[in-house]
Structure 1
Amino acid sequence: MSTPLTFLPSLFDSFWLAGFESACHVTRAGRRLDMLAATQHDRFVDEDYARLEQVRIGTVRDTIRWHRVEPSPGRFDFASVAPYLQAARANDLQVVWDLLHYGVPDDVDVFAPSFVDRFAGFARASARFIREHGDEVPFYTPINELSFYAWAAADVGWFHPHAHGRGAEFKRQLVRAWIAAVDAIRDVDPRARLVSVEPLIHVVPPLGQPDEGGRAAAMREGQFEAWDLIAGVREPALGGAAHYLDVIGVNFYHDNQWEEPGGRRLHWHVHPRDARWQPLHRLLQEVHARFGRPLIIGETSHVGVGRAEWIAEITDEVVRALTAGVPIEGICLYPIIDRFEWDDPTHWHNSGLWDFVHQADGAYTRVLNEPYAQELRRCQLRLAAMGCGTVEPSSVTA
């Protein structure tokens, strides 16, 4: 018998969400990624959206690609977005729109003061376009994984602008841009909801060693900094305030727990599991206790044969968190279709609910991963019995 919940999700059209890999940054090799194009989601968006009905998913995370929409300063062309809106409407899907998924137009200097106003202008134009094409309450993630983006682009030079040692500076620049974008969005549509998505991590010192200088603890604490800055808890001079932090999304994968220094991962798949591994429900309780906001699992998935086992454990952990009173509004399967490694397009992760078969004509046929789909159905039924979504107990088909 399921434990009655004191909280029932109501924010999204479905408790389970589908996320489409949308990274569009410039890599170390100087190559512009466009994962929506690379996975042919932009080509097959209607089919991709229609397929979600089979697995009772009614809400998606997708991206408005800034570099495509604003090819020159102040000139906006939403031709690349219109098919997504049409497909969402045709398939009765709700969309949470990312506005900055690591990639900016070629002429944008992310460290310049003008970056904030430029991004706000893009956010305003996007909100206006979305408002003109529907009456639903819109959902936006202005900047995806703000903390990770700052680290990857400005601490270690992985993403454009390939800077080093400027992560803290860039993070604050991104916070200013977030605030300006939210103001612009709400000026167009005061109903808009915001989903702030960040990695959820746990960091410990090496086994049997003290945390020298508090290095592991500081890294772990750093995961909360972006939310604190947005909410004005830290450095209020940046302009943060409580109303800029709305829904919190946490991204959780098998490699989100590690030792510092050294970076050795606490392996999820090795049993008995490292005693220092923190169960997800405890991490979720910690985030909720700290911020008091509704939560979603913004991204989660595993690879290969581990996909079914992973989603079963995630569901176990979400049940524990819900039972403890954590207001979890949904779980986003990310990516819902397969993706390749950003720096190695020959390495496919096999991490989606649908894998790809590469056809001779270059098209990628979506093929349902049956073990993952069967376990997902069991998980959906389990959570639906608790009041988290509605699922008919029918079989899933490809």
Structure 2
Amino acid sequence: MSAQHWMNDGSLHFGVGIEDTFVPQERIGQRRLDEYELTQHYEHWREDLALAAESGAEFLRWGIPWFLVEPRPGEFDWRWLDQVVAYTQEIGLRVVVDLMHYGTPLWLENEFLNASYPERIASYARAVAERYKGVWNDFTPLNEPVINAIYCGETATWPPYLSGQDGFVKLMIALTRGMVRTQQEILGVNPDARIVSVDAGFRWEGDETPVPLDILLERRFLSLDLTMGRVDDAHPLHDYLVEHGVTDADFAWFRANAVTPDVVGVNYYPGFTTVEYVDGATVPVEAGTTGLRELLTLYSERYQLPLAVTETSRGGSVESRVEWLGESIAEVDALRAEGMPVVGYTWFPFFTLVDWLWRNDLSTPDDWFVHMGLVDLHRGADRILERRKTEAFSRFQEVTTTRS
């Protein structure tokens, strides 16, 4: 692991992120989900990256569509990615590369459960890190492993469509094995590479939960605990994991191959990171800066590593976004003043996204637009999605300018 990450210079570094969920698998009643396609980022990527630089962002969380870059096993099509990399270098925009944002290539049978998945994703990561060494040096091995395990393993929402706690554990073990092997392979070809882990924060209110609360409270840390080799007989989830098929050999493998990120990233949304279960349904609960402070404190105390807010924003009016921008940065500043090593703040998404539920119906993407960004998308009569800077963009720019 690199001894010094660029974020660890004592400053609070500001970034933005482009929503990059890719679930290319289709089946009856479920369409391919590719946020770059739905938001026309493939056509407007230069404009989007230039806007990110114009906002004053020092870094950009940006994902590679693995299913397009490696269309067949071991065969890579670098043509588009080469252009993106060159342009980010030209405009001086540092990229924290999302190597995996939910979806596997179509050729990988059974997706994350494929026996070769950990080695397949590690091979892809190695190829990326080796090709762009010195330009792209910051990597997230896999975005939000717990969300990934929930959608793919617990609720049967995305492929491979497993369900229940057994499915959750199976997916989590596969994902974290891939994360370990990815970090090992990246550092094998670029020892100066830096790893930024990213997982979703979770908070619960009320007495009703579909899974025992003590398990939920620990499950949010499971990906880091596994990859860092922290799970042993004394771990709070040891018996839960054994019950669902994890063996002593599995635990031993993680301990023998333990890896540590340079920065622990926490994703937090004030309007829906906290939930309450009412009559079996999930109801989002507004938690404001209280939830942000609580989650960052939990991760800081548990891992004693530099932290970054790797996603935060608020849906709704531009005014509400401007308000949250000010409140959340003020809370991060307060935590830093108290000695917490929060080194990064990321507004995510940078522009309008299409709700993932679009995948399940026949509506247009416009019907599922979620305006949470600094830039809003508006479709013109020519069907082109215009990028319109909002007041939130200007306020973000003011913050980054005054702190540079």
**So what's the TM-score if we normalise by structure 1?**
0.84
Supply the distance in 1 between the matched residues of 2:179 and 2:105 (Cα, whole angstroms): 17
Supply the distance in 2 between the matched residues of 1:355 and 1:265 (Cα, whole angstroms): 24
* Structure 1, 29-38 or 283-292: larger mean CA deviation: 29-38
Q: What residue number does 1:341 align with?
A: 355
* Structure 1, 188-197 or 253-262: larger mean CA deviation: 253-262
**2:129 and 2:136 in contact (8 A); partners too:** no
Q: What residue number does 2:41 align with?
A: 41
What's the offset of the Cα at 1:42?
Answer: 2.2
Q: What residue number does 1:199 align with?
A: 200
What's the offset of the Cα at 1:257?
Answer: 1.1
Secondary structure in 2 aligned to 1:190?
coil
Q: What residue number does 1:246 align with?
A: 262
Q: What residue number does 2:171 align with?
A: 170
Q: CA RMSD in A?
A: 2.5
Supply the distance in 2 between the matched residues of 1:122 and 1:214 (Cα, whole angstroms): 35
Q: Does 1:219 align with 2:221?
A: no
Q: Does 1:89 align with 2:89?
A: yes
1:312-351 equivalences in 2 (<5 Å): 312-344=326-358, 345=365, 346-351=367-372
Supply the distance in 1 between the matched residues of 2:64 and 2:399 (Cα, whole angstroms): 31
Q: What residue number does 1:304 align with?
A: 316
Supply the distance in 2 between the matched residues of 1:212 and 1:87 (Cα, whole angstroms): 47
**2:138 and 2:196 in contact (8 A); partners too:** yes
* Structure 1, 292-301 or 232-241: larger mean CA deviation: 232-241
Supply the distance in 2 between the matched residues of 1:118 and 1:100 (Cα, whole angstroms): 12
What's the offset of the Cα at 1:10?
Answer: 3.6
Structure 1's unaligned 5+ residue stretches are 1-7, 270-276, 391-398
Moved over 6 A (4+): 11-14, 211-214
What's the offset of the Cα at 1:94?
Answer: 0.5
**2:22 and 2:33 in contact (8 A); partners too:** yes
**1:216 and 1:259 in contact (8 A); partners too:** no
What's the offset of the Cα at 1:37?
Answer: 2.3
**1:151 and 1:167 in contact (8 A); partners too:** yes
**1:100 and 1:143 in contact (8 A); partners too:** yes
What's the offset of the Cα at 1:358?
Answer: 0.9
Supply the distance in 2 between the matched residues of 1:174 and 1:156 (Cα, whole angstroms): 16
What's the offset of the Cα at 1:337?
Answer: 1.1
**Superimposed CA distance per residue, residues 184-215 of structure 1 (whole angstroms, 9 cap, x where no aligned partner):** 11111111111110011222333xxxx79992
**Judging changes above 3 Å, is the alpha-carbon distance between structure 1 residues 313 and 22 closer, same or farther for their aligned structure 2 residues?**
same
Q: What residue number does 2:244 align with?
A: none
**Judging changes above 3 Å, is the alpha-carbon distance between structure 1 residues 303 and 85 closer, same or farther for their aligned structure 2 residues?**
same
**2:53 and 2:93 in contact (8 A); partners too:** no
**Judging changes above 3 Å, is the alpha-carbon distance between structure 1 residues 212 and 67 closer, same or farther for their aligned structure 2 residues?**
closer
**So what's the TM-score if we normalise by structure 2?**
0.83
**Superimposed CA distance per residue, residues 58-110 of structure 1 (whole angstroms, 9 cap, x where no aligned partner):** 21011111100111111111223122112201211111111111111112132
What letter corresponds to residue 18 of structure 2 in structure 1? F
Secondary structure in 2 aligned to 1:187?
helix
Supply the distance in 2 between the matched residues of 1:32 and 1:252 (Cα, whole angstroms): 26
**2:201 and 2:273 in contact (8 A); partners too:** yes
User: Which of residues 229, 234, 245 in structure 1 aligns to 2:231?
Assistant: 234
Q: What residue number does 1:66 align with?
A: 66
Q: What residue number does 2:150 align with?
A: 151
**1:157 and 1:164 in contact (8 A); partners too:** yes
* Structure 1, 321-330 or 259-268: larger mean CA deviation: 259-268
**Superimposed CA distance per residue, residues 32-57 of structure 1 (whole angstroms, 9 cap, x where no aligned partner):** 22212221222222221222333211
What's the offset of the Cα at 1:112?
Answer: 2.4
What letter corresponds to residue 70 of structure 2 in structure 1? E
